Amino acid sequence: MGGLGSGRSSGWGRDKVEGCRSIDVNRLHKDGALRAGWAGSWQWTRNGERVASIDLRAEADRLHLSYRVRINSGEWEDVIETVRIDRVPCRFGGARPYFICPGVVNGTVCRRRVGKLHGPGRYFLCRHCYRLAHASQNEGAWDRALRRADKLKERLGGDPGMASPFPLRPKGMRWRTYDRLRRQAFEAEMLADSAFKFRAGLLLERIDNAKHERRR
């Protein structure tokens, strides 16, 4: 049973979804880890090395988590957490599983149906309970536009980045679709370029103002 750790000193933060270790109900389901009687572990790696893990044990309608955690560089604690699983029937057969968040905030039990639980603190809870934001929510216009252009390029098999050439039309793709995606990527890169120039202009203005202040 690997330790999870906590706090900003660990490098994974408490403010962003992308900065927290999480467990994904869809991935567990795909790996067969939600079948009643299944037992095993979930682990996280960095550069191919394991950095943390938890033990899991599944029942028909719940998943038991067992792990160690350290809060704010304090003593390591053993934690056992049970998370309910809700299976929603799909339109064309089968069922899709969801976690039922066990969090309690200000005396109110969460019970949200979610696909992921995050562990920046002692327990694995939904992002709402931990008030986590997605990194994209803090992006500026330049970041958002560039990320959109990169996604369009990667969708067509190309490389991200404004310096990378736009990829050729994939075999089987209609020219109309290809032209639309190329136009959208070009517009996104133009917007990113404009936003970058605006941001650079503000920075230069700030530097000039600081120089004038020092000369007084």
| CA–CA dist 185, 147 (Å, integer) | 10
β-strands 76-89, 62-70: how paired? Answer: antiparallel
Q: Which pTM value belongs to this model?
A: 0.57
> Which is nearest to 142 in space by CA: 188, 205, 183?
188
| CA–CA dist 54, 50 (Å, integer) | 11
In tens digits, the chain (216 residues) has pLDDT values of 555 554 433 333 345 556 678 899 999 999 999 999 999 998 887 777 787 889 999 999 999 999 998 887 788 899 999 999 999 998 888 899 999 999 998 889 999 999 999 888 889 999 889 888 765 544 556 567 777 888 888 888 888 777 778 888 888 889 999 888 888 888 887 777 776 666 666 666 677 666 666 666
**Which residue, chain included where needed, has tokens 């969460």?**
110
β-strands 95-100, 113-114: how paired? Answer: antiparallel
CB 120 within 8 A of CB 13: yes
Residue ranges per structural domain of the chain: 8-134, 139-215
CB 124 within 8 A of CB 65: yes
